């Protein structure tokens, strides 16, 4: 008991000393964080990780400004043309979630991925429309891009998410065979064209007959998720759904 208490005090002292020389700050607003805070955001910014809604498109999950079940791009018979049948997100893409995404994606902050993946897992339980999935697959990066970054941010999110939910994870079967480059400045139509044929499935036996949940950091137009779903359905997947950390509108 005494040894356990001593180790606990020693750990706290080490945390405090480290914080004194290298203070931790909120990834969103830059405010100093307490040395013993376990999350990368302050209370105010953490409360800013709001769920999309209250009205969202029943297929792609984009926030709707007025009533109706679907956005323009998913309305009527258009929904039947998509291979990715459903997209949901843990939070809106805003100044609070954006700080985490950019840190993970562009600044080597792989240590924020567990926090993001845990948030996705906690909010997943309220998304009954995703309850039937039985295999989690992260959206893959092109190998050269992953090597340069040092990791695939979607895979890091998927690992934590799968561990927290108990779902099976496959990070190798779906591969990106073409470097599509950055799509930040491309419009919807250009993104869809750019992503065509960018993915393939190495081992169709892994995905055949499965209801797959794609994991990614951000959903914008859904073009990347759709291209992944096309490859997975062609390989025999029964159904493809998607779940992202954040949703742009």
Alpha-carbon span 169 to 141, nearest angstrom:
16
DSSP code of 79?
A: G
Instruction: Decide which of 135 and 183 is more confident.
Output: 135
Q: Tell me which fold the domain 53-180+189-247 belongs to.
A: Rossmann fold (3.40.50)
* pLDDT for residue 180 is more than 80: no
CB burial of residue 65 (10 Å; 0-12, 13-18, 19+): exposed
Residue 22 pLDDT level (bands cut at 50, 70, 90):
low
pLDDT of residue 3: 53
pLDDT beyond 70 at 20: no
In this prediction, residue 18 carries a pLDDT of 46
Q: What are phi and psi of 149, to 5 degrees?
A: -75, -30
For the chain, where are the alpha helices, taking DSSP H only?
Answer: 2-21, 43-47, 95-106, 113-124, 143-149, 153-165, 188-195, 204-207, 223-234
Of 37 and 117, more confident: 117
User: Is pLDDT above 60 for 6?
Assistant: no
Predicted confidence (pLDDT) at residue 8 exceeds the cutoff of 70:
no
Task: Please state the pTM of the whole predicted model.
Answer: 0.88
Helix (H, G, I), strand (E, B) or coil at 106: helix
**pLDDT number for residue 27:** 83
In the predicted structure, residue 183 carries a pLDDT above the cut 90: no
Q: What confidence tens digit (pLDDT) does each residue in 46-104 have?
A: 999 999 999 999 999 999 988 889 999 999 888 889 999 999 999 999 999 999 999 99
- Checking if the pLDDT of 149 tops 90, the result is yes
Query: Is the pLDDT assigned to residue 176 strictly greater than 50?
Result: yes
- Dihedrals phi, psi of 138, to nearest 5 degrees: -75, 150
The string over 158-177, giving b where at least 16 C-beta atoms fall within 10 Å of a residue's C-beta and e elsewhere, is: bbbbbebbebebbbebbbbe
Residue predicted with more confidence, 71 or 27: 71
Closest listed residue to residue 164, CA positions, set 208, 215, 107, 225: 215
pLDDT for position 238: 98
Which is more confident, 18 or 179? 179
53 torsion bin: left (phi>0), alpha (psi -120 to 50), beta (else): left
pLDDT at 19 over 70: no
pLDDT at 4 over 60: no
For the segment 228-238, the average pLDDT, to the nearest whole number, is 98
Q: Are strands 239-247 and 211-219 parallel, antiparallel or unpaired?
A: parallel
Give the pLDDT confidence score for residue 190 in this predicted structure. Answer: 80
105-115 tens-digit pLDDT: 999 999 999 99
Say which residues have a Cβ less than 8 Å from residue 139's Cβ, sequence separation at least 6.
154, 174, 214, 215, 216, 224, 225, 228
User: Do the beta carbons of residue 171 and residue 154 sit within 8 Å?
Assistant: no
Q: Where are the domains of the chain?
A: 1-47, 53-180+189-247
Residues 140 and 200: their CA atoms lie apart, in Å, by 10
Between 90 and 19, the more confident residue is: 90
């Amino acid at each position: 008991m005494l040894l356990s208490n001593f180790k606990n005090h020693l750990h706290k002292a080490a945390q405090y000393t480290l914080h004194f020389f290298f203070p931790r700050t909120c990834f969103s607003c830059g405010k100093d964080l307490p040395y013993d805070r376990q999350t990368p955001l302050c209370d105010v910014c953490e409360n800013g990780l709001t769920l999309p809604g209250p009205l969202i498109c029943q297929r792609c999950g984009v926030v709707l400004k007025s009533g109706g079940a679907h956005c323009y791009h998913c309305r009527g018979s258009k929904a039947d043309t998509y291979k990715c049948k459903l997209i949901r997100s843990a939070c809106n893409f805003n100044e609070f979630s954006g700080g985490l995404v950019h840190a993970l994606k562009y600044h080597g902050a792989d240590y924020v991925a567990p926090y993001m993946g845990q948030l996705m897992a906690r909010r997943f339980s309220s998304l009954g429309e995703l309850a039937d999935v039985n295999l989690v697959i992260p959206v893959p990066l092109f190998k050269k891009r992953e090597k340069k970054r040092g990791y695939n941010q979607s895979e890091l999110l998927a690992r934590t998410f799968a561990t927290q939910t108990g779902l099976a994870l496959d990070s190798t079967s779906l591969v990106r065979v073409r470097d599509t480059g950055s799509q930040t400045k491309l419009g919807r139509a250009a993104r869809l064209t750019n992503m065509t044929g960018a993915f393939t499935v190495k081992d169709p036996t892994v995905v055949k007959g499965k209801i797959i949940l794609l994991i990614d950091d951000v959903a914008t137009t859904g073009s990347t998720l759709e291209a992944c779903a096309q490859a997975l359905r062609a390989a025999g997947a029964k159904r493809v759904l998607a779940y992202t950390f954040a949703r742009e509108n």
